[in-house]
Amino acid sequence: MKDAQPSTVYLKDYRVPDYLVDSTHLHFELQPKATLVKSQLKIRRNPDAGEGLPPLLLDGVELELLSVSIDGQLVPASRYRELPEGLSIPVDKPAFVLEIHNRINPEDNTSLEGLYLSNGMYCTQCEAEGFRKITYYPDRPDVMSKFTTTIVAPRQYPVLLSNGNEIERGATEDGRQFVTWEDPFAKPAYLFALVGGDLQHVEDSYTTSSGRKVKLQIFTEAKNIGKCDHAMRSLKKAMRWDEAVYGREYDLDIFMVVAVDHFNMGAMENKGLNIFNSACVLASPETATDSSFQRIESIVGHEYFHNWSGNRVTCRDWFQLSLKEGFTVFRDAEFSADMNSRAVKRIEDVSMLRTAQFAEDAGPMSHPVRPDSYMEISNFYTLTVYEKGAEVVRMIHTLLGTEGFRKGSDLYFERHDGQAVTCEDFVVAMEDANGVDLTQFRRWYSQAGTPVLEVTDAYDEVNGNYALTVKQSCPPTPGQEEKLPFHIPLAIGLLGADGGDLPLDTSGTRQVVLQVTEAEQTFNFSGLLEKPLPSLLRGFSAPVKVRYGYSTEQLLFLMRNDADEFNRWDAGQRLAFMALEQLQQAYRREETLKLQPQLVEAYRSVLQNRDLDPALVAKMLALPSEQTLAEEAEKIDAEAIIAARRFARAALAEALKGDLLACYQRLHTDKPYSPEAADIAERSLKNACLAYLCVTEEDDALALAQVQFDSAANMTDSAAALSALVNHGDTASADAALESFYQRWQQDTQVVELWFGLQSSSAKRGTLENVRALMQHPAFELKNPNKVRAVIGGFANRNFTQFHRVDGSGFKFVAEQTIALDKLNPQIAARLVLPITRWKKYGGDLGEKMKTALQSVMDSGKLSADLYEVVSKSLV
């Protein structure tokens, strides 16, 4: 925690580094409370930085400095200055070797940045600015250096890992052992990693397209060694995919993955030594659900893909974070789409974007994909930088086509290999390779907010002309009152009365990407023999909101006929949204609630449609979440949202129970488990049916859940049944199921996390009282981010009903926990507080109560920079 008020860093202030580091030799002597770090840096004046020899400024936080030497000569303490955030050393020659010795305390490091201990295992997390918690260094991504690392440790840590290749190992005179690693690729400090522990590993190998044999290893604690196969399979698929789709090969002889229980994020792409949150790498059919299998595949892919998009070509400064993250999320999404159902993957990603990213973009922390200022960079690992950033890359892909995009990425990697570059460099490579001008498109990087497209149309029967008029606007965001028009690729088709796509030109094209570039623009189509129904924004071709006055009948028609599967789903969502709007209004007027019969019939025909991918059916049967409804609302009326959605779900369950049961029974077979896409799809539909059936709270339905719970041979079925019992069963059977589940799985960290999350996010079970009780459970640990996310995060983010209790107790609870957590782990505290920062979107009393809770965080005393930034920006 810093003493002065955190200061703001601006993109416009970027300057090249004064000094470069040609090589970095690190020497660690691991000890829980006093690890000794010796670093030897070959430093040289940066020729691009100007004249003279300014003092050398090194970043360093919470370090105990022992000594400083230059070219073998001890520098007296009176010569250098220790600053609150580092060290300033006078320089009198343009090139020299600097040696620094310092001590750190991994055991007391609960921030999980720098070097820390997790269940007795040493590990590091250096992105974004964690390396400065290890030793004094120019901790910025445009300083790239070749690292060698020696780790010395007592024998109880037999596994000692760092980046690159192992070049030496042996014993020290006092009986400890050491290992030396050398990474041949220059890299910024944020990609450094070290691991030391008593670990087991599984091993495999991969031969790259040019014939290089790469050793693949996944390290875990012994008890988890049986949970590595899926990650290993995913890794090999990712390596093959990157060769096939991007022509990118792996470049070292070894690739290692380590699973760690205490981790702030999902995983980290350290060069040759990826470190993963255990929950994002370990899986077995008995202990992990299908969605974790899929998540692991995508995260393993993501980290692996960073080897090129992030490591070989890295970021110049942290404002460029989306350069690596947006691009890599796009790459991992395409990888997942190729491995599984493309439409379903798109639906999942867009659902998340529409709820959480749109909400972020409309809230107090709204920022462009390339932010222009920050107080604490950790706060900018956001859905905007990652997911919207990926949408921006996807739009470039849409504009250039698959081949054009590949030409652009080839040029980008070739031109910038070994460099630290900017989002601008990425766009320029795309332009240069294709001879296009993306000047206006660049606004996606600099303007925040979600654009809105108002679409109207007119058909002229006499001459067969159809005119589609698109008006774009974008709401103001902090610091950006006015927005210039975006360049928006709008993919559309026009449906005829038979449900097929009409030809849009003489060549018979049936889908076009309209280039929306002006505030208002009309697109004309001629030769249409009938009035078409537009299918807009196919595949969600841009991260925007589209308004078009569809009638219920038109949406039903699109749901049945649209050639674009994504838009079939989307039509269903629009329809459900309209129905839920009506219910909310009726609720506010205290009228009797009644669900539109057309919606029920639409869901019935989806359920009966055996031609559709079952996973798509499952998605189409799901009503928009409460969070989605809240995001769409002008002002959030939590009570009406809860009542409307609960009523609609119950009415659908009641009306469709015959079909739901038939579908459930058809899909509930004793086929052995496999995590293949087709099987996952069937289980997802089956369990969606089970959940709906149990909404009726009828004995027969709950009995199905009980039988499935008692006999499930995989975690997907077991967790789905448990969830049905917890959310809809009577207290006694829910208690019994939860207890037996815990008894069976208490040794398994990942399953216990699931067990926590299932309760805290339950509208019925996850009352504040129960959530507080879960925090007293022996398996809960405030120092472990996964447990915090499962219990407190599950309540604040996924339990709309209990979190929004009218007495405001949910908000107060989140505020209290944020304050407590800030003392241990500022990054996690700054995320946990987010649900109570959106108070302006709530009307009246609830909004006031939320603001009061937020204010109490501000008034609680000295906050970390991370938390201060979020809270202060949300109170204005």
Residues that bind Zn ion (CB under 5 A): 325, 328
Compare residues 684 and 864 and give the one whose CB is closer to ligand 0A1.
Answer: 864
Q: How far is the CB of 302 from ligand 0A1 (least distance, A)?
A: 6
Compare residues 179 and 788 and give the one whose CB is closer to ligand 0A1.
Answer: 788
Catalytic option among 303, 387, 431, 869: 303
Site string for ligand 0A1, 770-809 (x = CB under 6 A): ----------------------------------------
Q: How far is the CB of 158 from Zn ion (least distance, A)?
A: 30
CA pair distance 106, 30, nearest whole angstrom = 9
CA pair distance 672, 6, nearest whole angstrom = 56
Site string for ligand 0A1, 362-401 (x = CB under 6 A): ----------------x--x--------------------
Interaction of residue 127 with ligand 0A1, rule CB under 6 A: yes
Pairing of strands 121-125, 114-118: antiparallel
Compare residues 144 and 612 and give the one whose CB is closer to ligand 0A1.
Answer: 144
Site string for ligand 0A1, 709-728 (x = CB under 6 A): --------------------
Q: What are phi and psi of 187, to 5 degrees?
A: -150, 160
CA pair distance 671, 261, nearest whole angstrom = 33
CB 217 within 8 A of CB 177: no
Compare residues 187 and 838 and give the one whose CB is closer to ligand 0A1.
Answer: 187
Compare residues 128 and 620 and give the one whose CB is closer to ligand 0A1.
Answer: 128
Query: Contacts with ligand 0A1: how many residues (CB under 6 A)?
Result: 15
Rounded to the nearest 10°, the torsion over CA 70, 73, 79, 85 is: 40
Q: What are phi and psi of 138, to 5 degrees?
A: -75, 90
Q: Which does 332 bind (CB under 5 to 8 A by kind): Zn ion, ligand 0A1, none?
A: none
Compare residues 149 and 827 and give the one whose CB is closer to ligand 0A1.
Answer: 827
Token pair of 660 as six digits: 């739901």
Compare residues 99 and 325 and give the one whose CB is closer to Zn ion.
Answer: 325
Beta-bridge partners for 259: 276
Q: How far is the CB of 330 from Zn ion (least distance, A)?
A: 11
Q: How far is the CB of 299 from Zn ion (least distance, A)?
A: 9
CA pair distance 40, 29, nearest whole angstrom = 15
- Output 66-73 pairs: Cβ under 8 A, ≥24 positions apart: 66/36, 66/101, 66/102, 66/103, 67/99, 67/100, 67/101, 68/98, 68/99, 68/100, 69/98, 69/99, 69/100, 70/96, 70/97, 70/98, 70/99, 71/96, 71/97, 72/97, 72/99
Question: Residues 325, 334, 748, 866: which binds ligand 0A1 (CB under 6 A)?
Answer: 325
Cite the DSSP H helix spans in 483-636.
552-561, 565-588, 597-608, 614-621, 626-632
Q: Is 303 a catalytic residue?
A: yes
Q: Which does 221 bind (CB under 5 to 8 A by kind): Zn ion, ligand 0A1, none?
A: none
CA pair distance 755, 819, nearest whole angstrom = 25
Q: Which does 264 bind (CB under 5 to 8 A by kind): Zn ion, ligand 0A1, none?
A: ligand 0A1
Compare residues 311 and 874 and give the one whose CB is closer to ligand 0A1.
Answer: 311
Q: Which does 307 bind (CB under 5 to 8 A by kind): Zn ion, ligand 0A1, none?
A: none
E strand map for 705-855:
none
CB 133 within 8 A of CB 104: yes
What are the residues whose beta carbons fall under 8 Å from the beta carbon of 601, sequence distance 6 or more? none
Q: Which does 340 bind (CB under 5 to 8 A by kind): ligand 0A1, Zn ion, none?
A: none
Q: How far is the CB of 825 from Zn ion (least distance, A)?
A: 20
Question: Residues 125, 270, 298, 761: which binds ligand 0A1 (CB under 6 A)?
Answer: 125
CB 168 within 8 A of CB 180: yes
Q: How far is the CB of 311 from ligand 0A1 (least distance, A)?
A: 10
CB 770 within 8 A of CB 759: yes
Interaction of residue 438 with ligand 0A1, rule CB under 6 A: no
What are the residues whose beta carbons fall under 8 Å from the beta carbon of 722, sequence distance 6 or more? 709, 737, 738, 741, 758
Q: What is the 3-state secondary structure (H, E, C) of 125-158?
A: ECCCCCHHHCCCECCCCCCCEEEEEEEEECCCCC
Q: Which does 382 bind (CB under 5 to 8 A by kind): ligand 0A1, Zn ion, none?
A: none
Place of tokens 């927005």: 483
- CA-only gyration radius of the chain, Å: 28
Site string for ligand 0A1, 95-114 (x = CB under 6 A): ------------------x-
Minimal CB distance residue for ligand 0A1? 265
Q: Which does 127 bind (CB under 5 to 8 A by kind): ligand 0A1, Zn ion, none?
A: ligand 0A1
For helices 844-858 and 809-822, give the axis angle rounded to 10 degrees: 20
Q: Which does 267 bind (CB under 5 to 8 A by kind): ligand 0A1, Zn ion, none?
A: ligand 0A1
Q: Which does 217 bind (CB under 5 to 8 A by kind): ligand 0A1, Zn ion, none?
A: none
Q: How far is the CB of 156 from ligand 0A1 (least distance, A)?
A: 27
Compare residues 29 and 325 and give the one whose CB is closer to Zn ion.
Answer: 325
Q: Which does 427 bind (CB under 5 to 8 A by kind): ligand 0A1, Zn ion, none?
A: none
Q: How far is the CB of 382 from ligand 0A1 (least distance, A)?
A: 11
Interface of this chain with ligand 0A1, residues 252 to 271, rule: CB under 6 A:
264-269
CB 194 within 8 A of CB 123: yes
Token pair of 110 as six digits: 């609960």
Q: How far is the CB of 818 from ligand 0A1 (least distance, A)?
A: 18
Q: How far is the CB of 190 from ligand 0A1 (least distance, A)?
A: 8
Interface of this chain with ligand 0A1, residues 288 to 317, rule: CB under 6 A:
302-303
Compare residues 125 and 797 and give the one whose CB is closer to ligand 0A1.
Answer: 125
Burial 526-553 (b: 16+ CB within 10 A, else e): eebeeebbbbbbbbbbbbbebebebeee
Token pair of 284 as six digits: 């077995």
Token pair of 90 as six digits: 């006078």
Active-site residue set:
303
* Residues found near ligand 0A1 in the complex (CB under 6 A): 113, 125, 127, 264-269, 302-303, 325, 378, 381, 827
